[in-house]
Structure 1
Amino acid sequence: MKTLLTAGLLSLATTFFIPASTQANTVTPATTLKLRNFMAAPFNGNVKIEWIASANLLNGWFEIERSSSRNGNYEKLATVPLRKKEDTRYWYSDTDPFSGDNYYRIKLVDANRNTTYTKTILVKMDGTHLAVDNIFPSVAQNQLNLQISSGEESMVKIDIIDMSGRSFSYGSLQVIPGTTRYPLNITALHKGSYMMLLKKGDKIINRRFIKQ
């Protein structure tokens, strides 16, 4: 569902450099893994997990981990092999999430068993989950895209504030369960830095962007 309003969280990429290894006269090139757009959101009673990754060598894999608390013990849910060198979308569905808080992260593993972790994402399975997974492009001209995940269908309010504190109301937006992209028309804004505020009840989510 796409809703156009009148008025991705930045698209962050994490790059992991894995040192080259030398054995006898054989040199293994260093491996570069790139992972971005890591998302997790409720969908039909499950939790849908997605990310985009690329690498110069196909010698790594991903392990999906989950915990009931941010600093608790994480269990491995699945292992997903690296399939292609170019940007590829990966996904996994947790069909048996906890009834309350679910913390997800991805562990990247190279052929030499070196590991790196992504950020941790909280998914609430009580119908209250709401997150702005991505806001892109970070420098926009006419359209800003909001990637929003929600545990239920609801109305949210969107305001935009410039660096002088002036507020511009962009009305209400109906979000649906799951992860959906919502385009935001920012043609009327002057060039400069802004803060986008997404509000639902007492919850406020803010993200920065630049109008070019």
Structure 2
Amino acid sequence: MKTFFRLNYVRLASLILASFSLGLQNQIYAQCNSTVALTVPGNYFGSGFNGNGNFNAIVFGNLHATGGDTEGRLAVAGDFTAPSSYSVGHGSIGAPAPDNTDNFIVNGNFNNANNYSIVGNFIYNTVTAGSQYPTHASGQGTNIGPITNRLAFGTLKTNYVNLSTTLAAITTTGTVVYNDYGNYVDIQLNGTTASTNVFSLTLPTGKTFGLTFNSIPPNSQILVNVTNKIVDINGGSMPDDLRTRMLFNFPLATNISLASYALQAAVLAPSADLSGNGGSINGQAIIGGNVEQTNGFEFHNLCSSFITPTTTPLPVTLTSFSVQKEGIQTSLNWATTAETNSDRFEIQHSVDAKNWNLIGTVIAKGESTVLSNYQFTHSNPANGENYYRLKMIDRDATFAYSRVVEISLDLPSAVSVYPNPVVSQATIETQDWTKVKEVSVINTAGKRFSMSAASGKLDLSNFSSGIYIIQLKQLNGAVSSTKIVKQ
């Protein structure tokens, strides 16, 4: 926790060290670059807004902090509560905030028990009686309020949801290799693209992990699309030398827990709550839900150079895409308002948002300027999580992907495994083995093992204890799965 009035010798030494180790670029742009992907576009500035739209952290829910700080600029759409001290704008790791821009915005209620210092203007709406307003050193801003919508938070959140969807639909260019060593997973991300290397990553749960990036060209960007709905990171490591040009996108996440972990990238999580317990996010952060900061968790003001990649124009203008349950099947519905030279839609299905299977094709209108509705029924969805996307293909074979939609089903399983829990050998029962193409065992980190199941027997004696998914892939692409506990 840093305050303006406690710049002691230890902190001074750390400031000097940071300025050398992080590079001059973080000291040049005190407000960071206004053209990067996560900067607030100018059309979302409210009346009187002062700044270039580049915030260290934007929280669209409430922020509650019993420790930690934001070393750059902070905007909170909901309420802000800090029973102990909390500073804004005092950058010791990275760039300090500008002196007189709108660096701390609370669009809801401000409730603070202790006086603390911020750099820049504090814009507030309502203040709980007895709260102490932040103080400012001479020439470093003032408190301004009551004011609402200094940023257009409602439509701004939609902007970031759409951005996350766009990034998630970009075709993967790199490969990911998971090396599972029991309680630790070594994850190798390999990419050689000169522009933007795009990875689809499923983070392990209940284990620490290390991320290593291999063969990344010096001037290229890195986009990591994380497929997890629930993200639970407790310890581990990732490199910091790629931080300025890397963005972690969490398009499906609803909850993110970071404990004792330094996430070295810009972060886009437009639908997630964040719990930070120690550690930090070292780059811009967009959090769509509530934030809880404990045990010194910090948002560090480290500038990003990540720019939204130029994507191939869609063969169609897709206005909606949804999935819903119909009995033991799922129904996919989508609509377009414009099509030019479009050929077909390939419907792809996954149970882990990482490995995709073609389950059907629907012919497109080809040429259209009116609303066109499409429908597809998946007759064999999996029990549990089901993910779908459209591959929209043009007549010249160019294509683009839609956003991913998902649905969780509680269905009578088409496959059963016993005994459960199992010690070594399990028996698989399914309706028709002649239609089974592949048997796989998937661990909680998303690693898939192709298995032999002669006579319906599955040998799990070499697997470590834990929870696994037994998955049967049919010849027609349908997937059935069930969970099993290995003792």
TM-score range, shorter chain: 0.3 to 0.5
Q: Comparing both chains, which one has the higher relative contact order based on Cα–Cα distances under 8 Å and sequence gaps of 6 or more?
A: 1
**Structure number with bigger Rg:** 2
Q: What TM-score results when the alignment is normalised by the length of structure 2? A: 0.20
User: Is the helix fraction higher in 1 or 2?
Assistant: 2
TM-score normalised according to structure 1 size: 0.44
